[in-house]
Amino acid sequence: MSEEATALLKKALTLPVGERADLASSLIDSLDTTCDENVEAAWQDEIARRIETLQRGEARTIPWEEVRKKARKILHEETH
């Protein structure tokens, strides 16, 4: 990461959580330049399906801390 990007990241990390989330979302959106008209509807259908699965008790949830720990382990293994 460049010095400029590192400085921006440090500054961004001082923002309140909501503003950081909005900024992250905007940055992610800026990476996707393609537009598929059906994507939004497909995501809404998928979200509804997953909520129904959760409400029926058919899905196994994993605490965020466990997910983050596994992700960091995978990322660490890939970089070494």
Whether this prediction's pTM lies above 0.85 is answered by no
What is the DSSP code string of 14-62? TS-HHHHHHHHHHHHHHH-----TTHHHHHHHHHHHHHHHHHTT-S---
- Asked whether residue 65 carries a pLDDT value surpassing 90, the answer given is yes
CB burial string 39-51: b at 16+ within 10 A, e below: eeeeeeeeeeeee
Residue-number span of the structural domain to which 63 is assigned: 36-80
- Do 56 and 20 reside in the same domain of the chain? no
- Do 52 and 13 reside in the same domain of the chain? no
Query: What CA–CA distance (Å, rounded) separates 18 from 15?
Result: 8
Whole-angstrom CA distances from 30 to 35, 42, 63 are 12, 20, 29
Q: What's the domain count of the chain?
A: 2
- Do 29 and 51 reside in the same domain of the chain? no
- Do 43 and 78 reside in the same domain of the chain? yes
- Do 64 and 40 reside in the same domain of the chain? yes
- Do 42 and 28 reside in the same domain of the chain? no
Query: Quick one: pLDDT at residue 39?
Result: 87
- Asked whether residue 6 carries a pLDDT value surpassing 80, the answer given is yes
Write out pLDDT tens, residues 43-57. Answer: 999 999 999 999 999
- Do 68 and 42 reside in the same domain of the chain? yes
